[in-house]
Amino acid sequence: MTALVGARVFDGERFLDDCAVIIEGGRIAAVVPYAQRPRAGGERDLGGGLLAPGFVDVQVNGGGGALMHDDPSAAVVARIAESHRKFGSVGVMPTLVTDAPEKTRAAIAATRAARRSHPSVLGIHLEGPFLDPTRKGAHQAKYVRAIEPADVETIVGADCGAVMVTVAPNRVAPDVIRRLVARGALVSLGHAEASYEEAQAGLAAGAQAFTHLFNAMSPLQGRRPGMVGAALDSREAYVGVIADGHHVHPASLRVAFAAKSRDRIMLITDAMPPAADGPDSFLLQDRRVARVDGCLRLEDGTIAGSTLTMDEAVRYCVATVGLPLADALRMASRVPATFLRRGDDLGRIAPGYLASLVHLDDALRVRETWVEGEPALAEAAA
């Protein structure tokens, strides 16, 4: 049993002062007033700052120099998870961009293997290949294709934790979305020049989210609401947002935060190898991607993922967008955990929840993380 003391606590709902978080067996046993803490077992004085639920990132392609697509192996998946852990992410969904079917199968197998020893690997996000080539972004058109029955079986039979798949609602029929959802997949709509009506049909079939809101999707216009309009209009759909100052203007983020319930907005990174202390350039399917003024771009100028980490996204939302800290922390932890159907054991500091936590200093920089009670210092993140 270990008592964490000396820091303010955000429990996922509210801020608590002068309390102790009791960890036992990888879970939170209790949250009690400091004076009532148990005297048996160890005690850690965190020396100030804020203890919060650890961050959950549902879209992370790479980090620390590693890329899921480049080498879909258990070692690379583990490296991605470990590199982002230094920056507060206690749960990640390694993400594969559009490619051939054999690459998808390899990525699923790698994720399955990594999960055996890395509980922060929560599953896999397949971003394609069932997209609309007119909104492909950095995805390669030669790999974009229609979904086949064999693809459905591959997705629903992945057996690697949560399985999230991004599809274009004007390219994947509602009946197919319905089959995926009925068998446990989390379907997100994205990378499409789809109409509002087509997006609504996808939601009616069971799609639960929109991938990186505003990016690679039909925009909101007065007489054509598009995918952005469908996302903002839906009360139930989750949306992922890349809050890095490059993908979305802060005013657009404020509009989204005003339109959507805060319990349906997830901060995501869409991180690539340069994120989390990685190099400034890398190859994505034999195409050079480089960091230019903090933004990752292909040689033709197309944005190709980000260098973002989740702690940076939280700081940006608070300092630049003007979001209350509690909302930003929820969007980075509790909301994505709930979307992944892990809301009963991740995203809260409460009895019975996993002790997957992040300790932030007063500038909201990461001091330390815990994954299921196991600590890891984060000096490199400071």
- CA-to-CA distance for 344 and 353, rounded, in angstroms? 7
Token pair 């409460």: residue = 350
**Element of type H or E holding 233:** helix 226-233
- CA-to-CA distance for 252 and 258, rounded, in angstroms? 10
- CA-to-CA distance for 297 and 186, rounded, in angstroms? 29
**Element of type H or E holding 328:** helix 325-332
The pair of structure tokens assigned to 107 is 């990525």
Strand partners, 241: 267
Concerning whether 293 is annotated as a catalytic residue, the answer is: no
Which of 52, 50, 106 has the alpha carbon at shortest distance from 74?
106
Sign of CA dihedral 34, 38, 39, 40: negative
The DSSP call for residue 225 is -
What backbone phi and psi angles, to 5 degrees, belong to 260? -100, 150
Residues 6+ apart with CB under 8 A from 301: none
Is the peptide bond preceding residue 129 cis, with omega within 30 degrees of 0?
A: yes
- CA-to-CA distance for 20 and 363, rounded, in angstroms? 22
Contact 90, 370 (CB under 8 A): yes
Three-class SS of 132-183: CHHHCCCCCHHHCCCCCHHHHHHHHCCCCCEEEEEECCCCCCHHHHHHHHHC
Catalytic residue among 11, 244, 270, 311: 270
The DSSP call for residue 49 is S
- CA-to-CA distance for 262 and 327, rounded, in angstroms? 7
| Secondary structure of residue 288 in the 3-state scheme | strand
Active site residues: 270
